[in-house]
Amino acid sequence: MIDALAAYFARRLAPRTAVRVLAVTRMSEGFSQETFRVEVAWREHDREERAAYVLRRQPAAGLLEPYDTEPEFRVLAALAGSGVRAPRVFWYERDPAVLERPFYVMEVVPGTVPLPVMVDGTPVFTDDERARLGEDFVANLAALHAVDWRAVGLDFLGVPPPGGGAATRELARWEGYIDRAGGPPRPVLTEALLWLRRSRPAAEATTLVHGDYRTGNFLVHDGRIAAILDWEMVHLGDPMEDLGWACMALWRGESPYMCHLLERERLYARYEELSGRCVDPERVRFYEVLATVKMAAIMLTGLHAFREGRTRDLRMALFDHQWGYMAAAIANARGLL
Amino acid sequence: MRLAPAMVLAGVARTLEEDVLPAVADRAARGLVFTAIEVLANVQDLVEWRADIREEELSGASAALADFAARLEGLGLHAESARVRAGLLTAEAEAEREARGRALDAALVDALVVADAAHDRPGMDDAIAPLRMHIVNQALRDVMRTQRPLLNRISQG
- Give kind and range of the element (H or E) at residue A56: strand A47-57
In tens, the pLDDT along B97-112 reads 989 999 999 999 999 9
Query: Average pLDDT of each block of 10 consecutive residues along chain A (337 residues)?
Result: 90 90 85 89 90 92 82 96 94 93 96 76 86 98 97 97 96 96 93 97 97 95 96 97 96 91 97 98 98 96 89 86 93 95
For residue B152, list chain A residues with Cβ-Cβ distance below 8 A. 115-117, 119
Beta carbons of B99 and B54 less than 8 angstroms apart: no
* Partner-chain residue, chosen from A30, A187, A191, that has the shortest CB–CB distance to B105: A187
Question: Which pLDDT score, from 0 to 100, does residue A118 have?
Answer: 56
Question: Which pLDDT score, from 0 to 100, does residue B101 have?
Answer: 93
Question: Which pLDDT score, from 0 to 100, does residue A287 have?
Answer: 98
- Give CA–CA dist B8/A109, Å, rounded: 37
Q: Indicate where chain A has its CATH 3.30.200.20 domain(s).
A: 22-107
* Partner-chain residue, chosen from A28, A184, A190, that has the shortest CB–CB distance to B102: A184
Question: Which pLDDT score, from 0 to 100, does residue B131 have?
Answer: 97
Beta carbons of A229 and A214 less than 8 angstroms apart: no
pTM of this prediction exceeds 0.90: yes
Chain-chain contact of B135 with A321 (C-beta, under 8 angstroms): no
For residue B129, list chain A residues with Cβ-Cβ distance below 8 A. none
In tens, the pLDDT along A301-320 reads 999 988 888 888 888 888 89
* Partner-chain residue, chosen from B1, B18, B157, that has the shortest CB–CB distance to A320: B1
Chain-chain contact of B152 with A119 (C-beta, under 8 angstroms): yes
- Computed over every residue of chain B, the mean pLDDT equals 93
The verdict on A112 touching B (C-beta cutoff 8 Å) is: no
User: What average pLDDT does this structure show over B80-100?
Assistant: 96
Question: Which pLDDT score, from 0 to 100, does residue B1 have?
Answer: 56
- Give CA–CA dist B102/B99, Å, rounded: 5
Question: Which pLDDT score, from 0 to 100, does residue A284 have?
Answer: 98
For residue A118, list chain B residues with Cβ-Cβ distance below 8 A. 149, 151
DSSP A134-197: HHHHHHHHHHHHT--TTTTT-GGG-PPPSTTHHHHHHHHHHHHHHHHH--S--HHHHHHHHHHH
Beta-strand runs (E) in B51-114: none
Which ipTM did the prediction report?
A: 0.90
* Partner-chain residue, chosen from B102, B145, B151, that has the shortest CB–CB distance to A185: B102
The verdict on B145 touching A (C-beta cutoff 8 Å) is: yes
Give whole-number Cα distances, B90 to B12, B20, B85, B105, in Å. Answer: 36, 46, 9, 12
Please name the residue of chain A whose CA is at the shortest distance from the CA of residue B128.
Answer: A191
In tens, the pLDDT along B120-154 reads 999 999 999 999 999 999 999 999 988 887 877 77
Q: What are phi and psi of A302, to 5 degrees?
A: -65, -40
- Give CA–CA dist A201/A196, Å, rounded: 9
Please tell me the CATH superfamily of domain A127-333, with its number: Aminoglycoside phosphotransferase (APH), C-terminal lobe (3.90.1200.10)
- Give CA–CA dist A58/B11, Å, rounded: 22
SS3 A51: strand
Beta carbons of A217 and A229 less than 8 angstroms apart: yes
Beta carbons of B48 and B5 less than 8 angstroms apart: yes
Question: Which pLDDT score, from 0 to 100, does residue A209 have?
Answer: 98
Question: Which pLDDT score, from 0 to 100, does residue A117 have?
Answer: 65
Question: Which pLDDT score, from 0 to 100, does residue A228 have?
Answer: 97
A187-198 and A165-181 helices cross at what angle (nearest 10)?
Answer: 160
**Matching CATH number, A22-107, of 3.30.200.20, 3.40.47.10, 1.10.10.10, 3.20.20.80:** 3.30.200.20
Q: Indicate where chain A has its CATH 3.90.1200.10 domain(s).
A: 127-333
Chain-chain contact of B140 with A322 (C-beta, under 8 angstroms): no
